[in-house]
């Protein structure tokens, strides 16, 4: 439709708009709400800057966190890189809400139980068993793998944790915590290059992870020393 307008083919544009309107009428109302929120998050409505400016956009971001699903992640991920700190913070919170949203109320309660188990070292085995059971029941829910990776990291089972971090990122490529966790695991087993790569990926996904930047600089210095030793041997 936009191409037709640019080429001043208004008959084609009108026909395309009619088709779009007909499709929208067939969509469930919640889909229309989400589509409208995405337009507001992207900063424009019908090609014009939305009213309300940054505050209106932040409100839309928060609503997407409450109502959205993984389809909203690309737009919200872009907002993480916004120069406005409040917008980036709202996007981070919204993405976390989507990442952690459970497919059933029952699983929500079980995830809360897992969070409690993680806090007590003597219950890590129980937490591991719980997340493994939940993964068997909901193998497409990325956050389960991320939580199990956390438990495995705490249990110093770093290689197994890396596997779960990788699965998390395959399912949810915006999951900066999984990338960060992978970097911590690589660092724990002495794979400095792997740690740098994973942590840099985490920061590229979420620039708000400023605390990792100093750690990355230190790891890069260690990596240069390691490479220097290898070249001199």
Q: How far apart are CA 137 and CA 124, in angstroms?
A: 20
Q: Which of 107, 96, 114 is nearest to 208 (CA)?
A: 96
Q: How far apart are CA 58 and CA 62, in angstroms?
A: 6
With a CB cutoff of 8 Å and minimum separation 6, the contacts of 8 are: none
Q: Output the pLDDT for position 77.
A: 93
Q: Output the pLDDT for position 34.
A: 66
Length of the chain (residues): 233
Q: Which of 6-20, 77-91, 178-192 has the highest mean pLDDT?
A: 178-192
| Candidate from 45-49, 68-72, 219-223 with smallest mean pLDDT | 45-49
Sort 62 into a burial class: Cβ within 10 Å, 0-12 / 13-18 / 19+: middle
Q: Is the pLDDT of residue 218 over 90?
A: yes
Q: Which of 36, 81, 87 is nearest to 61 (CA)?
A: 87
Cα dihedral 222, 175, 142, 197 in deg (nearest 10): -20
- Secondary structure E strands in the chain: 44-45, 48-49
Residue position matching structure tokens 């942590």: 199
* 76-94 tens-digit pLDDT: 999 999 999 999 999 999 9
Q: Is the pLDDT of residue 54 over 50?
A: yes
CATH 3.80.10.10 fits 105-232, yes or no: no
Q: Is the pLDDT of residue 115 over 70?
A: yes
Q: Which long-range contacts (CB under 8 A, 24 or more apart) does 153-162 make?
A: 153/181, 153/184, 153/185, 153/188, 154/118, 154/121, 154/124, 155/124, 155/128, 156/188, 158/185, 158/186, 158/188, 158/189, 159/185, 159/189, 161/185, 162/186
Helix 142-154 vs helix 85-100: angle between axes, to the nearest 10 degrees?
Answer: 90
Q: Is the pLDDT of residue 178 over 90?
A: yes
Q: Domain limits of the chain?
A: 2-100, 105-232
Total-model pTM = 0.79
| First-last CA distance in the chain | 64
Structural tokens at position 76: 């919200």
Structural tokens at position 60: 């839309």
Q: Is the pLDDT of residue 2 over 70?
A: no
Contact 81, 207 (CB under 8 A): yes
Helix (H) or strand (E) holding 7: none
Q: Is the pLDDT of residue 38 over 50?
A: yes
| Mean pLDDT (the chain, rounded) | 84
């Amino acid at each position: 439709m936009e191409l037709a307008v640019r080429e001043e083919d208004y008959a084609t544009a009108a026909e395309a708009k009619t088709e779009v309107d007909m499709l929208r009428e067939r969509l469930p109302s919640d889909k229309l709400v989400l589509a409208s929120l995405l337009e507001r998050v992207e900063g424009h409505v019908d090609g014009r800057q939305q009213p309300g400016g940054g505050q209106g956009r932040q409100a839309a971001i928060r609503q997407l966190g409450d109502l959205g699903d993984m389809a909203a992640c690309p737009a919200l991920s872009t907002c993480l890189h916004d120069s406005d700190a409040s917008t980036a913070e709202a996007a981070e919170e919204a993405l976390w809400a989507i990442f952690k949203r459970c497919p059933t109320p029952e699983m929500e309660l079980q995830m809360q139980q897992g969070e409690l188990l993680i806090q007590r070292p003597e219950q890590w085995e129980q937490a591991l068993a719980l997340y493994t059971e939940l993964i068997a029941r909901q193998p497409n829910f990325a956050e389960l793998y991320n939580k199990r990776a956390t438990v495995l990291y705490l249990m110093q089972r770093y290689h197994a944790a890396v596997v779960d971090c990788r699965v998390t990122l395959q399912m949810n490529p915006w999951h900066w915590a999984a990338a960060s966790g992978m970097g911590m695991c690589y660092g724990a087993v002495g794979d400095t290059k792997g740690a740098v790569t994973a942590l840099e990926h985490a920061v590229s996904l979420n620039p708000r992870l400023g605390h990792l930047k100093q750690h990355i600089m230190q790891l890069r210095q260690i990596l240069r020393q390691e490479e220097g030793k290898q070249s001199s041997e």
